[in-house]
């Protein structure tokens, strides 16, 4: 069976990817609801109808972007965390990586942070497993750290993972939206880690 790669889909994986990338750029630039399918098609250099050969509808396109990018983030995170076994170093690595990724893929970051959050449809009804999987990387690190006595045991990991993610994500969001950057991501990562590890009190 001399079938092309990814033969379970009839179409080329290239075009699928091309449309996803176009959609990321377009949605990041104009917002999901203010972008038309025709905009995405034009950016992808493809006919309007072609989009529907690869995606069920406009919503499906957004969800696909989300899954695509979360896979990317999870994959990069898991790779980066292999290098160290110290929970504190791991957490530092995670924070730093998240910020770096946002910097590396600003359009992607914007879609994730702003566009996806928007619609009740997605946040409330879409199961969102991939996001939880990403968050669980953090709670895993916290759990390890508590077990090994590096982190305080009285902290609730369920709350803590959110606090950490929220802090990092807000920094990332500001970075994404800020035109003139007032600080580098590396600085920000240091500040955030310092604060999370040692607190703000003298």
Partner DNA sequence: AACGGGAATGAATGTCCGTTCATTTTCAGG
Partner DNA sequence: CCTGAAAATGAACGGACATTCATTCCCGTT
- Residue 188: which residues within 8 A CB-CB, separation 6 or more? 99, 171, 175
Binding of residue 129 to a second copy (CB under 8 A):
no
Task: Determine the Cα–Cα distance for residues 66 and 130; give it in Å rounded to an integer.
Answer: 8
Nearer to a second copy, 74 or 114 (CB): 114
| Residue 178 touches which of a second copy, DNA, none (Cβ within 5-8 Å per kind) | none
Site membership for a second copy, residue 173 (CB under 8 A): yes
d(CA 38, CA 109): 23
Size of the site for DNA (CB under 7 A): 21
Q: Is 192 in the site for a second copy (CB under 8 A)?
A: yes
In the list 34, 57, 75, 84, the residue contacting a second copy (rule: CB under 8 A) is 34
Establish if 25 lies at the interface with a second copy (CB under 8 A). Answer: no
If residue 41 lies in a helix (H) or strand (E), which one and from where to where?
A: helix 37-44
- When asked if residue 115 is in the footprint of a second copy (CB under 8 A), the reply is yes
Residues 50-79, interacting with DNA (CB under 7 A): 50-53, 57-59
> Choosing among a second copy, DNA, none, which partner's interface includes residue 171 (Cβ < 5 to 8 Å by kind)?
a second copy
What does the alpha-carbon distance between residue 140 and residue 145 come to, in Å, rounded to a whole number? Answer: 9
* Residue 159 parent element (H or E): helix 157-177
143 binding a second copy? (CB under 8 A): no
Euclidean distance between CA atoms 69 and 108, whole angstroms: 7
Is there binding between residue 53 and a second copy (CB under 8 A)?
no
């Amino acid at each position: 069976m001399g079938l092309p790669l990814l033969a379970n889909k009839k179409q080329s994986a290239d075009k699928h990817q091309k449309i996803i990338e176009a959609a990321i750029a377009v949605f990041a630039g104009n917002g999901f609801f203010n972008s038309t399918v025709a905009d995405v098609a034009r950016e992808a250099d493809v006919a309007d109808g072609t989009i529907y050969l690869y995606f069920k509808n406009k919503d499906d396109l957004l969800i696909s972007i989300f899954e695509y990018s979360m896979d990317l983030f999870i994959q990069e995170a898991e790779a980066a965390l292999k290098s160290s076994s110290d929970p504190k170093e791991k957490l530092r690595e995670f924070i730093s990586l998240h910020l770096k990724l946002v910097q590396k893929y600003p359009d992607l970051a914007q879609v994730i942070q702003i566009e996806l959050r928007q619609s009740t449809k997605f946040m409330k009804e879409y199961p969102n497993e991939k996001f939880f999987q990403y968050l669980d990387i953090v709670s895993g690190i916290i759990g390890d750290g508590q077990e090994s006595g590096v982190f305080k045991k009285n902290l609730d990991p369920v709350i803590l993972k959110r606090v950490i993610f929220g802090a990092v994500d807000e920094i990332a969001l500001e970075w994404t939206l800020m035109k003139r950057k007032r600080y580098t991501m590396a600085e920000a990562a240091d500040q955030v880690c310092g604060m999370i590890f040692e607190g703000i009190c003298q």
